[in-house]
Amino acid sequence: MLSKGRYRTRTAESAADIEAAQRLRQLAFKGAEDSAALDQDSFDDICTHILVEDTSDDRLICCFRMLPLDGGEEIGRSYSAQFYELSALRAFPGRMVEMGRFCIHPEARDPDILRVAWAAMTRYVDENDVGLLFGCSSFKGTDADTYLDAFAMLKDRHLAPRRWLPRVKAPSVFRFAQALRLRKPDAKQAMLRMPPLLRTYLVMGGWVSDHAVVDQQMNTLHVFTGLEINAIPASRKRLLRAVAG
């Protein structure tokens, strides 16, 4: 699809490519070193998988998957709809893409990896006239107390517009907008605790649900995250398209 510096992105083209992505996901999400262990589910069969590779050794260092939807009426097909009541988004008029299972190899630290991944997503969004990018943004672990400042900042600055606000569906949630309504976040601590992928969404104008799902299976807390493409600042779009071009 594209390359920048030592990194290239491409679409998975074979069962072996998808298995490599599932193995990286297993390592990133569950810390499993067993080469036979794979993070997989039924959504893998209906998604497009994007791979980011290090050209110096052809190693897979980042991956994510995309599920395109023609419009809000298809929101129930998404992975996120298992955890959030998303009927409000059925009224969204444009095309949508769910980005899921985003992960970077635990030993990789280069910020260009995230930039290249977002450039690949930008190219896909532009080529397919996507109006909304969404997914579940995860905090590692299920102890909400670790992330109170981050959740307080989400409550103060980044809640979804009421017309799109996801409602509670999962059996175990942390209703941070309600629980932290009087808490003022420590901005430095909030940003230190904010997952890098979610930070990127927020910088571009993204918004989140008013609660986090406690996902014991994945050992995460996650928030529904939406990004309306028309709301991305023009300067940010230029930067992304410069890499994507």
pLDDT at 205: 94
pLDDT at 36: 74
Closest C-alpha to 89, from 122, 133, 155: 133
pLDDT at 233: 86
Cβ count near 121 (within 10 Å): 22
Rounded average pLDDT over 47-62: 95
Task: Tell me what the pLDDT averaged over the chain comes to.
Answer: 93
CA distance 40 to 21: 9
Query: In this predicted model, what pLDDT tens digit does every residue of 68-105 receive, in sequence order?
Result: 999 999 999 999 999 999 999 999 999 999 999 999 99
Rounded average pLDDT over 161-185: 97
pLDDT at 13 over 90: yes
Q: Please give the residue that has the higher pLDDT: either 11 or 1.
A: 11
Hey, what domains does the chain have and what are their CATH numbers? 2-244 (3.40.630.30)
Rounded average pLDDT over 163-181: 98
pLDDT at 243 over 80: no
- Compute the 3-state secondary structure of the chain and give helix, strand, coil in percent, each to the nearest 5: 40, 30, 30
> Is residue 236 very low, low, confident or very high in pLDDT (cuts 50, 70, 90)?
confident
Token pair recorded at residue 157: 């600055």
Cβ count near 49 (within 10 Å): 19
| pLDDT above 70: percentage of residues in the chain | 97
Rounded average pLDDT over 132-149: 96
pLDDT at 245 over 90: no
pLDDT at 83: 98
Please report where in the chains the tokens 């071009």 appear, as a residue: 245
pLDDT at 4: 78
pLDDT at 226 over 80: yes
pTM of the model: 0.93
The dihedral formed by the CA atoms of 226, 231, 232 and 237, expressed in degrees to the nearest 10: 130
Query: In this predicted model, what pLDDT tens digit does every residue of 107-132 receive, in sequence order?
Result: 998 989 998 999 899 889 989 999 99
Task: Tell me how far CA of residue 68 lies from CA of 65, 132, 166, in angstroms.
Answer: 10, 10, 19
Rounded average pLDDT over 41-55: 96
